[in-house]
Amino acid sequence: MKKILIIKTGAMGDVLRTTSLLNVLDGEITWITKKESMPLLKNNPFLNKVADFNDIDLIKKDKFDLVLSLDDEYECCKLASDINTKNIIGAYLDNCNRRYTDSSSLWFDISLISKFGKEKADKLKSKNNKSYQEMLFKMINKKFNGEEYILGIEPKTINKKIIGLETRADKRWPLKVWNKYDELSNLLKKDGYKIFRFQQRKDVLNYIDDINNCNIIVTGDTLAMHIALALKKKTIALFGPTSANEIYDYGLLKKIVSPINCVCCYKNQCDKKLNCMDLISVKYVYNTIRSFEK
């Protein structure tokens, strides 16, 4: 049986959306990730082994038919180059320089290690109209046909009007935060919706359960969005500094993109009086939520 190694460590939402690839891989699959992402993979029926990046000595001694190296961090590229394999697809080290295979250029050309440099890569990224999954499947010469995330947790059917709000974002992306959730909550409560605001959980499985107990999720471009899609929840995601086109909707996601010409800038600071997320109106988000009932 073909032995495949996947190196995908972060961010957690990126790890989860990469699981769609497992639908079309055939073989004995090992996945290397970081400790915080391991709960997202441990119930996955397609994986033979999930390994912590900090505990991989045995894997380095093993032999693989294929390594899918999907991160551009130096230590991940080094690991890909250290593995005994017949074939690497993705990022690797060449004389201590980070490179990537031609087969993976659709994705890595718009990454931090782009052969074009970061400035042009960001421009290419803003113009990109392909989903992450399309680019990922292209790496292994497959066509993406809507293959779903694989989380290994059964989605719950919630018949009550419970809306989960993810009002936070990773500290790296302060511009992803929308500051109008209080106003939105007041409108929704008047319509009989119960509002649940997600909070920090010690265990990501508890966080997943919180999302599973809602029937509609409103969030930015965050882990919550990816978990909601994996759990087949109706989801509304607000986009400003990051790409909406990269996110495949699975017939569940409604994207609200800021009405500004500099959207998808991939910056973490803005010098404008009103940034991209400030320009997303409460009324528009509210009406989008209500459209799920039609």
Question: Do the domains 162-291 and 3-139 match in fold?
Answer: yes
Give the rounded percent of residues in the chain with a pLDDT score beyond 70: 100
Mean pLDDT of 18-27: 97
CA angle 31, 140, 222 (to 5 degrees): 55
The answer to whether the CB of 241 falls within 8 A of the CB of 126 is no
Lowest-confidence range among 73-87, 91-105, 124-138, 260-274? 260-274
Matching CATH number, 162-291, of 3.40.50.720, 3.30.565.10, 3.20.20.150, 3.40.50.2000: 3.40.50.2000
Bond from prior residue into 51 cis (ω within 30 degrees of 0)? no
The answer to whether residue 139 scores a pLDDT higher than 90 is yes
Looking at the chain, which runs of residues are DSSP E strands? Answer: 3-7, 28-33, 49-52, 63-64, 66-69, 84-85, 88-94, 97-100, 162-165, 194-197, 216-220, 234-239, 253-257
Token code pair at residue 182: 């209080």
The answer to whether the CB of 64 falls within 8 A of the CB of 82 is no
Decide which of 1 and 2 is more confident: 2
pTM score over 0.75: yes
The residues, any chain, with a CB within 8 Å of residue 55's CB and separated by 6 or more, are none
In the prediction, which pLDDT does 69 show?
98
The strand pairing partners of 3, in sequence order, are 28
Report the C-alpha dihedral over residues 159, 19, 38, 97, rounded to 10 degrees: -150
- Break the chain into its structural domains and give their ranges: 3-139, 162-291
Mean pLDDT of 168-173: 90
The answer to whether residue 72 scores a pLDDT higher than 90 is yes
Architecture per CATH, domain 3-139, reads as 3-Layer(aba) Sandwich (3.40)
* Confidence band of 207 (pLDDT split at 50, 70, 90): very high
Q: Which residue type, as a one-letter code, is found at position 163?
A: I
Three-state SS at 125: helix
Three-state SS at 83: coil
Q: How far is 264 from 124, CA to CA, in rounded Å? A: 11
Mean pLDDT of 193-219: 97
